[in-house]
Amino acid sequence: MVLTDLRQELDAVRAEAARANNTRVVEKLDRILAGLDDDVLLTTREAAGLLGIGSVNTIKAMAHAGRIQSRKVGTHYRIPLSEVERLRHDTTIRGLRASSSIHAEVAALGSTEGLTAEELEDLEEARPGILPWEQ
């Protein structure tokens, strides 16, 4: 469920509670809805996590370049929650999310240093056939 859908559903529940004169529930829903407003600012780490991007520096660079909406709080970038919602379907973000996923899978396989000389030799010996440039 995306943030806009959640907001609409909470608004509908709030309207029902208001019709039923349930002020306690209305007050709680008002606090929840206020938490979904544009004034909620996330750290770059929180934004990266919600977007599924492994690198916080990517979010910082995009904010610095003006590619994503952000606010400067002191020396730090803050990303509005509504901007994170908007970015969820952005093609660049989807590509970055896929890239982060691939990097995580590769890291889970083992060393990022590549194959050792011995492993390369074993691979060469096990490869069937002749490479085109060796003919």
Q: What is the pLDDT along the chain (135 residues), one digit of tens a residue?
A: 466 677 788 888 889 888 998 889 888 888 887 776 656 889 999 999 989 888 899 999 999 999 999 999 999 999 988 888 888 888 888 888 888 888 888 778 776 677 788 887 887 877 777 777 777
Which residue is it, tokens 């096990």? 126
pLDDT at 1: 47
Q: Is 113 helix (H, G, I), strand (E, B) or coil?
A: coil
0.85 exceeded by the pTM?
no
pLDDT at 65: 93
Does 134 map to a domain?
no
Question: 56 and 120 share a domain?
Answer: yes
CA distance 79 to 94: 18
The distance of Cα 64 from the centroid of its chain, to the nearest Å, equals: 17
Question: 88 and 32 share a domain?
Answer: no
Where residue 17 falls (left for φ over 0; alpha for ψ -120 to 50; beta otherwise) is: alpha
Question: 115 and 70 share a domain?
Answer: yes
